[in-house]
Amino acid sequence: MTTVPSPAQLGGRSLERVVYAEEEIRRRVEALAREITEAYGPEDELLVVGLLKGSFIFLADLVRRIELPLKVDFLVAASYGAGMVSSGEVRLLYDPEARLTGRAVVVVEDIVDSGTTLNRILPLLAARGPKSLELCALLHKRRVRLDPEPRWVGFEAPAEFLVGYGLDHREELRHLPYIASL
């Protein structure tokens, strides 16, 4: 059973509920890694691009379980700022340095919510000529349509503001080992 920290341990905030427990997340990440491993071969030059900051815990757990040679790079884009709703404006703060041309690229995202960030960056990455470009999202709220839609999704996300396992509120609560509703 997952113990929810007190408001004092959460900087005065309280959590509504634990949506996905630590063990449930671990099992799902292992399954996603198996599916990605089966989808590619060593000849694909797999490049996993994590969208920071939210995906860093998920990305780390995922790539350690993918049983293929791979490289990791990151992209930093911001659309939330300090709020709980996307601003609608995407700023690219760090662009991947790795070559995408001719490679199998898997973009790893923590949560598909408004789609604003992904709809901005996926065409930019596709224009760099990858052999394939796929999306793996830990959570998907199914509020928007993406092109391409995520090939791999960990969990359906409720229409709540979620924190933990990399997801934050004002840069806090990423450290929680589970996903909870704030």
Q: What share of the chain is helix, strand, coil (3-state, %, to 5)?
A: 20, 30, 45
Q: Which positions ≥6 away from 99 have C-beta within 8 Å? A: none
Is the bond into 69 cis (omega within 30 degrees of 0)?
A: no
In a domain, 152, yes or no: yes
According to the model, what pLDDT value does residue 155 have? Answer: 98
According to the model, what pLDDT value does residue 88 have? Answer: 58
Domain range enclosing 84: 29-176
User: From its phi and psi, is residue 111 left (phi > 0), alpha (psi between -120 and 50) or beta?
Assistant: beta
Mark out the alpha helices in 68-177 (DSSP H runs). 116-126
Catalytically annotated residue among 110, 113, 147, 168:
113
In a domain, 68, yes or no: yes
CA of 8: how far to CAs of 68, 70, 170, in Å? 43, 41, 17
In a domain, 112, yes or no: yes
In a domain, 4, yes or no: no
Picking from 23, 79, 29, the residue whose alpha carbon sits closest to that of residue 53 is: 79
**Separation between Cα atoms, residue 127 and residue 123, nearest integer Å:** 6
In a domain, 99, yes or no: yes
**Residues 16-36: pLDDT tens digits?**
899 999 999 999 999 999 999
According to the model, what pLDDT value does residue 147 have? Answer: 79
In a domain, 14, yes or no: no
Number of domains in the chain: 1
* Catalytic-residue membership of 113: yes
Give the number of other CB atoms < 10 A from CB of residue 44.
18
In a domain, 103, yes or no: yes
In a domain, 3, yes or no: no
For the domain that residue 84 is a member of, what is the CATH number? 3.40.50.2020
Q: Which positions ≥6 away from 14 have C-beta within 8 Å? A: 7
Spatial contact of 42 and 69, defined as CB atoms under 8 Å apart: yes
Q: Residue 75: how many CA atoms within 13 Å on its side-chain side? A: 26
**Residues 7-20: pLDDT tens digits?**
656 666 778 899 99
Q: Could you tell me the pTM of the whole model?
A: 0.87
